[in-house]
Chain A
Amino acid sequence: DGGITQSPKYLFRKEGQNVTLSCEQNLNHDAMYWYRQDPGQGLRLIYYSQIVNDFQKGDIAEGYSVSREKKESFPLTVTSAQKNPTAFYLCASSSRQAGPPYEQYFGPGTRLTVT
């Protein structure tokens, strides 16, 4: 089945460690996005990529890094510079070829806890 997978579902790390969240899609979508969700809040854009080997900062990129070496994959690294990394992280993708409204499809999310 086509879709977006994120692994793992739950992730625990010690403060000061970098951690990489996986996002894979088999929808042949060009664009991919990373969002962060904090309790009682909406999703906020961290990074996005509209094409392979290119990505742009979103609204809250500080302390995060990404890569887009393959169309199917858009991993997110939460670095030790991120002051409040504990959150729910959602990955999404959309097709540019299909034209607007570029509906985004979401993965199941990864809940990261840093202690």
Chain B
Amino acid sequence: AQKVTQAQTEISVVEKEDVTLDCVYETRDTTYYLFWYKQPPSGELVFLIRRNSFDEQNEISGRYSWNFQKSTSSFNFTITASQVVDSAVYFCALSEAMGRRALTFGSGTRLQVQP
């Protein structure tokens, strides 16, 4: 069975601080996909990034960066110079390559960025 763990339930930072959201996953599949979603107060899920299991290259997109380490089964997300608009719940998710291809979500990390 697949499992995603986001141990940080809630994080509070002051604007312009850097913050890292942790994600650890478990799967027996050799091919799988990892995702990060943002959920603002409106509730809709906003896609941020996806990574496949055979691509461990880190990625940077503006103030966002992702560190994928297969050796530790982690897919961490860093926001540099956080802003109030980054306040949301962030979910890490895992998808299998075969079968139902549904997403297995972590419990989410609520990020509050104070002005």
Interface of A with B (CB < 8 Å)? Answer: 31, 33, 35, 40-45, 48, 50, 56, 58, 88, 90, 92, 94, 100-109, 111
Contacts and interface: CB of A to CB of B under 8 A. Distances in A.
Contacts of A35: 103, 105
Contacts, number: 67
Interface stretch (B42-50, B60-68, B76-84): B42-50
A35 B97 CA distance: 19
Chain A at the B interface: mostly helix, strand, loop or mixed? strand
B107 interface: yes
Contact of A102 (B37, B101, B105, B107): B101
Given A42-B4, A43-B91, A102-B95, A109 B44 contact: yes
A101 to B, nearest CB: 4
Contact of A42 (B44, B47, B106): B106
Interface string B73-105: 000000000000000000101010100111111
